Structure 1
């Protein structure tokens, strides 16, 4: 007992110090105080606790708002614009969504993963921006108010129509990418099939390779097969989505070889060589056409605007007054000739072999 007594006393003092340091100081109700003083003290304690809870809730709300803003800023601007238009113009957006036919199929073919209603809201948002930009541009050129409003209306309609046909343009661009990568992918699959690999594994290898849009489409086919679709249904769905003659030829040859038997590796190699030969022939014809169009392009973009300005200046000097208002001249130089240039470039681009 003589030995344990000093140890016990030391532990008690150590525990008392620990409690004294770590214990949070709290207000206590004074002893011997009146009932009113005790009530006031309790009320103050309740107010302090409520204030702490309010501050905690406010901090939590601020954190939630900051987190929400962070998630919103991570979204693309197009999605944020579509959400804003959908919130403020939900009725018109729904009416337009019901009236636009074929937009679902266009979005599916273009691989645009956006609901139809949300995309229609994006169409309206872009159209509104185009209309505002057109009005400001015309107003800065000192055009009359009615002309500025007409330009705004044309800008609104142009923006809306552009967004309406944008999925089709994306789809056609994807088809071009798929057809360009098709010979290389066919050789890839042919080499794997010749080495004894199955058709599904060969398609998976193409999906994991870097063939751009074609790899994405093969990955979608693999996903369809994993979710229960048959091999024939996945290929037929790919053929329908692309709407390409070359893709249709490949799909039919693969299905025929799988169904009736045949050396699929040799068939794919042969088709790859045929596509490459056709592309080379089209490329030669395309170069010949571009050489002829280039002279017309140079004349319309360089010679014709210069001759036009010289003619206006000469006519103004002879008539001793401007024969054309500066606003009209600015519109012709800023819109007419560049539009001709864009039309020629579009013609050249459209004639590019696939």
Structure 2
């Protein structure tokens, strides 16, 4: 697909709907060995590695592809640092759509080859993730493509998709847990899960709202910094503050596209936000593999690190606590 000549829209409903290979309904696992190791009363892992491409991004990708197909688009476009690109390419392939992905040149993901194997056209961007999003949005506007980027006009589809995680947790536990810990980058997953719990509570399906807990790479995320420093709005970092590593890449950005929504979720739930170092994330990934047999993306353990910090500070009652984890794919 030549981006400069791409026309992304056909007749309404021209593309087929998503295949039966759907994301969601992932396992909620009791972490008894981690309970003993870290001193939790009851901890559960919402293991999103059970999704088709191994992460919760599949949920958003399939919903976005469904919407694009329904509205008659032929091409979806997005920027990615890894997981979302693979998820979008997979969902698009199963919806008879094409995918145009903008990828920051200096990032290191091993999943780039998966995107091309799934039929995506990948354009390397000489810049950071935020620059890749800008170029993707420009391509969508210029060529009539479906914009699947977070924080854009179709962002509500991603929020609704992530809200299903809340429903699945309640289906297993019977009520909302005391707290839900979610790693954060753009804030979309955190905000979507919180919105899902809001809908359940407002409809009388839960007796309470959970406390939202989150974490990201040490001093490299606007949501964490803005919350901890008490800013009224999600304040951008300076791009020079961002330094990518193979561990922290899924978490870092100088602008969080759904940062305001994530901050609202943290504040409305009496939440907590914490930093996590690469060393701590790698250590906790090893812990989960050794104690629970879970192969997880190290960056996703930032949420477990934050929850453990709350426990050490005496802020966790003897109750149910959930950590959302992403699977690790080579």
Question: What TM-score, normalized by structure 2, do the two folds share?
Answer: 0.22
Higher helix share: 1
Higher strand share: 2
For CA contacts below 8 A with separation 6 or more, give which structure has more relative contact order: 2
Structure whose alpha-carbon radius of gyration is higher: 1
Question: What TM-score, normalized by structure 1, do the two folds share?
Answer: 0.21
